[in-house]
Amino acid sequence: KFVVSETSIGGGEPIQTEVLVIGAGIGGIYAVHRCLEEGLGVVCLEAASHVGGVWHHNRYPGARVDIESFDYCFHFSPEIYRDWQWSERYAAQPELFRYLEYVADRTGAIDHIRFNARVVAANWKPADAEWHVRTDTGTSYRARFVLMATGNLSAPRPPAFEGMESFRGQIIETSSWPGAGVDWRGKRVGIIGTGSSGVQAIPVIAKDAAKLTVFQRTANYSVPAQNGPMQADRHQAVIDDVLAERARMMDSYAGINALIREVRPSTDYSPEEQQAALERQWQEGGQGMMAVFADQQTNPVAAELVSEFVRSKIRQIVRDPITAETLCPKGFPIGVRRLGVDTDYYDTFNRDNVELVDVKADPIVRITPNGVETASGEHPVDILIFALGFDAFTGAIDRAGIRNEKGEAPTDRWRRGPRTLLGLMIAGFPNLFMVSGPGSPSVLVNLMLMNEYSIDWIVDCIKWLDAKGARTIEATVEAEDAWVEEVAKTASHRLAARIPNWMTHQGEDGSRAFIPYAAGLKAYRVHAEGCVNAGYAGFRTS
Ligand code: N01
């Protein structure tokens, strides 16, 4: 029902549209819906055969959201919110995928999405004040505006291990899990990568594999989700007034209920009270572990208190002391990398069929025909799974082949980190909008809410341009410079900005920049709305 191949509409003449949306994930679906509401001509191009974005591609076993489902869904429509019943506190990938199909269908967005259409080139033509866009099937589009709804974590980081081509078994990436499924029952499985994807997949695969070998480079902090059926009363409380809830969440740091709480600095508590608060949070489960104390993301002592609590849990759960110690994250505090939210992750290492290989101490040398060779010897496997993460933030932007009138790519000037105005536009690239791009709170907050906010801002901006009879809008270099400075300033006191991870940009000149805007959604809105109220200050129109 949902598959409309782009080739079926391809033709010689470019297809004209006012707005061209790239990507039919969470952002793309909502962007199409908002354009339709405002009467803007819109086409959405999606490389995959279905909507869903990351929730289509990341079909690995155990994949589920790490923010509670009644938060991690669209809030713009009380009717849609009311009519979709989540079955679990943390919905699994198949349910999230069905939900996004449902919203695309219910809003009518689906009729404006062309599937199997990967954008390979987008060139700004100043004479026409239009973007000329081409897909991999050769179909061309001319659009006044391009909206990059391509996601920050959508371009997989491909495995590049020596000897991969010699492997005789099956190679799989969590970020592009085969639609037909994978049968690992009774097989020897190896998995490389223990980030959010790895910690979710490992417990599920371990249950049926003959043997699971986990190759861990950096131990990551993870906490139990304490998943279960959706708590109907909590869900109902939101249904009763969805728009008030939306406003409340937009007025918070992250738009995540587990993080909206009055907390005091760790120094306000006695050691016993600190441990009791941490234990309560462990039993509650989920991302709330990031917000037990007000100072845990800025004060190294508070951060270490929470970190050591989680390490003590790992040591309690994992029976073999050497394995437990290898699983204990060290050298960086909890929260500076994305916190894993799991079901039975640490307990999985008590199973007889699970082996942990510390590839920092025992590095991977190459992939062999039979498995993975580390310095200490060969680990034979039948299936090798890579959970290596993403070319975050810039990967999807680079892959779309965007060029301005000078032939520059958006990231050409990003050698010391992304340069954007509000994570929405890039100087030198008129009429090109990014949805929740680098320099917005993006991955630090609930992306459902973030995308709604970003897209509402963009659509309002297009309406404003139309009302004043302008054809183009572009960020000025000065405003972009000022925003880059603001982003750096807000990150400067955060521990996360000091530790290399996928949220930090490492420049070849040794520079390091924290990519998201770190002061949260509420503070971001002050800037984004201040800009609008000042007549789109920092933007130039023509
Ligand atoms: O990727 P990651 P992810 N040799 O980059 C390892 C979101 N997400 O897909 O840390 C050996 O976190 C790497 O090791 P190291 C969420 O925002 C959300 O798991 O670089 N190992 C690391 O262990 C998340 O943060 C959900 O030393 C290598 C792993 O691969 C983000 O996506 C679920 C290696 C990559 O971890 C990314 O998560 C899933 C090598 N050469 C993802 N190269 C939910 O909502 C890399 N690694 C629950």
* pLDDT the model gives residue 3: 38
Average confidence score pLDDT of the chain: 95
CA distances from 174 to 100, 178, 179, 521 (A): 20, 9, 11, 30
Q: Which residues of 224-256 are buried (b: 16+ CB within 10 A; e: fewer)?
A: bbebeebeeeebeebeeebeebbeebbebbbbb
**Ligand 1 centroid to residue 339 C-alpha, Å:** 11
Does residue 327's CB lie within 6 angstroms of at least one atom of ligand 1?
no
Beta-sheet pairing, 113-114 with 42-45: parallel
**Rounded mean pLDDT of 143-168?**
97
CA distances from 322 to 199, 263, 391 (A): 19, 35, 33
**Ligand 1 centroid to residue 313 C-alpha, Å:** 22
Q: Whose CA is nearest to atom 6 of ligand 1?
A: 193
Q: Is the CB of residue 357 less than 8 Å from the CB of residue 211?
A: no
What are the pLDDT digits (tens) for 259-281? 888 889 999 999 999 999 999 99
Structure tokens at 78: 């009380």
Which single residue is written with the structure tokens 């032939």? 407
What are the pLDDT digits (tens) for 495-514? 888 888 899 999 989 889 99
Closest CA to 29 of 95, 112, 90, 146: 112
**Rounded mean pLDDT of 226-236?**
91
Does residue 338's CB lie within 6 angstroms of at least one atom of ligand 1?
yes
What are the pLDDT digits (tens) for 315-338? 999 999 999 999 999 999 998 899
**Rounded mean pLDDT of 171-198?**
96
* pLDDT the model gives residue 94: 97
**Ligand 1 centroid to residue 220 C-alpha, Å:** 9
* pLDDT the model gives residue 176: 94
Task: In whole angstroms, give the CA distance from residue 468 to residue 536.
Answer: 12
Q: Whose CA is nearest to atom 5 of ligand 1?
A: 389
* pLDDT the model gives residue 232: 86
**Ligand 1 centroid to residue 511 C-alpha, Å:** 22
- Count of CB atoms situated within 10 Å of the CB of 423: 27
* pLDDT the model gives residue 297: 87
In the three-class reduction of DSSP (H, G, I as helix; E, B as strand; rest coil), residue 184 is classed as coil
Structure tokens at 13: 């003449």
Does residue 7's CB lie within 6 angstroms of at least one atom of ligand 1?
no
Q: Whose CA is nearest to atom 15 of ligand 1?
A: 218
What are the pLDDT digits (tens) for 58-86? 999 999 999 999 999 999 999 999 999 99
Report the 3 state secondary structure along 458-485.
Answer: HHHHHHHHHHCCCCCEEECHHHHHHHHH
**Ligand 1 centroid to residue 195 C-alpha, Å:** 4
**Rounded mean pLDDT of 441-460?**
98
* pLDDT the model gives residue 5: 44
Does residue 359's CB lie within 6 angstroms of at least one atom of ligand 1?
yes
pTM for this prediction: 0.95
Task: In whole angstroms, give the CA distance from residue 133 to residue 43.
Answer: 12
Query: Residue 110 carries which side chain, given as an amino acid letter?
Result: I
Does the pLDDT at position 6 exceed 60? Answer: no
* pLDDT the model gives residue 11: 56
Q: Whose CA is nearest to atom 39 of ligand 1?
A: 197
ipTM over 0.95: yes
